[in-house]
Structure 1
Amino acid sequence: MEEGYNEIRELKEMIELCFERQNRLISKLEMELEALSNFNGKQMLDSRDMRLQLKVCDRTLIRWRRSGKLPFFKISGKVYFWAFDVYKFLREEYGTANLPTDTFVK
C-alpha cells in the first residue's frame, strides 16, 4: 500500500516539474514574441494576430485594407498593422470607447 502512495507522489512530482518547465518555456516564448512584434516602441500586429484578436476572417481584413479604412504595411510580403491604427479604426468604425487612446504613440 505504501509503495502505491510513493509511486503516486513521484508521478505527481514529475508532472509538476513538466508543468513548471512548460511555463518557463511559454514565458520565454512570449517575451521573444513581444520583442518581435514591437518596433521603436510601437506594437505591430500581423494578419494572424488580427484574426485571433478581432475574431474576423482573412476576407474581412482584406476588405478593410482594400477600402483604405485600415492602414497596413508589408515586410517581406507579410502584412502588418500598427496597433495604434487598429485601435483608431475600431473606435471610428464601431464606436468602441473603451479601447486605449494613448497607449501607443504614432
Structure 2
Amino acid sequence: MNIDRMEFIIWMERLMDRLDLLAERFEKAEKKRSTIDGEELLDNQDLMLTFKISARSLQCYRSEGKLPYYTISGKIYYKLSDVHQFIREHFSVPVKAKTMAILIVFDILNRNHNTIYHQRMPFVDLPKPNQNQLMYLLL
C-alpha cells in the first residue's frame, strides 16, 4: 500500500482542520466555564498552586468567611476580585520590606544622632527603637 504525496497532503489538511475545530470548541467551553459576569474565576487548584497553600488552608478561609466562594456543579470557584480583596485585607507587608524599613531606621538613626523620622517609612509601624534594639532587630 503506497500513498502518494497529494493524498498525504489532503489527509494532513483534514487532520489539521479537525484539530483546529476541536481547539475552537475547547476555547469556547473554557471561556464559558471560567467567567461569571465577565469576571475570571479561579478554582482550588489555581489558588493552591499560585499561593503555595494547602487545600485545608483554603477550607479554613472559606469556613471563617474570609474568602467568598461559589459552588458550580459541585466544584468551588473564587472570583479574581474577591481573591485580590482577600489578599489586601489579610496579608501584611512582606518580611523583606520590613527588613528594609529597619535598615532605613538604622541609617536615619546613625545620621541624625538618635533622631528617627517615622514619616519616611509609612508602610511599617515600628516603635521608636534605641540603638541596642536596632542591632537586635538586624540580627
Structure 2 match to 1:19: 19
CA–CA distance in 2 between the matches of 1:64 and 1:44? 20
Query: What secondary structure does 2:4 align onto?
Result: helix
**Does 2:57 correspond to 1:88?**
no
Per the TM alignment, residue 22 of structure 1 is displaced from its structure 2 partner at its CA by 0.8
Structure 2 match to 1:60: 57
- Residues 48 and 55 of structure 2 are in contact (CA less than 8 Å); yes or no, is this contact kept in structure 1? no
Change (3 A) 1:80 1:19: closer
Change (3 A) 1:57 1:14: farther
Per the TM alignment, residue 12 of structure 1 is displaced from its structure 2 partner at its CA by 1.4
Change (3 A) 1:74 1:8: closer
Change (3 A) 1:88 1:5: same
Letter in 1 for 2:45: R
Change (3 A) 1:68 1:16: same
CA–CA distance in 2 between the matches of 1:78 and 1:27? 20
- In structure 1, stretches of 5+ residues that fail to align are 97-106
**Does 2:68 correspond to 1:71?**
yes
TM-score (norm 1): 0.55
Per the TM alignment, residue 79 of structure 1 is displaced from its structure 2 partner at its CA by 4.5
Per the TM alignment, residue 80 of structure 1 is displaced from its structure 2 partner at its CA by 4.4
Corresponding residue pairs, total: 89
- Higher RCO, 1 vs 2 (CA within 8 Å, ≥6 residues apart): 1
Q: Can you list the C-alpha shifts for 1:63-102, whole angstroms capped at 9, x where unaligned?
A: 2223443233557876443332211122344569xxxxxx
Structure 2 match to 1:50: 44
- Residues 73 and 80 of structure 1 are in contact (CA less than 8 Å); yes or no, is this contact kept in structure 2? yes
TM-score (norm 2): 0.45
Structure 2 match to 1:28: 28
- In structure 2, stretches of 5+ residues that fail to align are 94-139
Letter in 2 for 1:38: I
- Percent identity between the aligned chains? 26
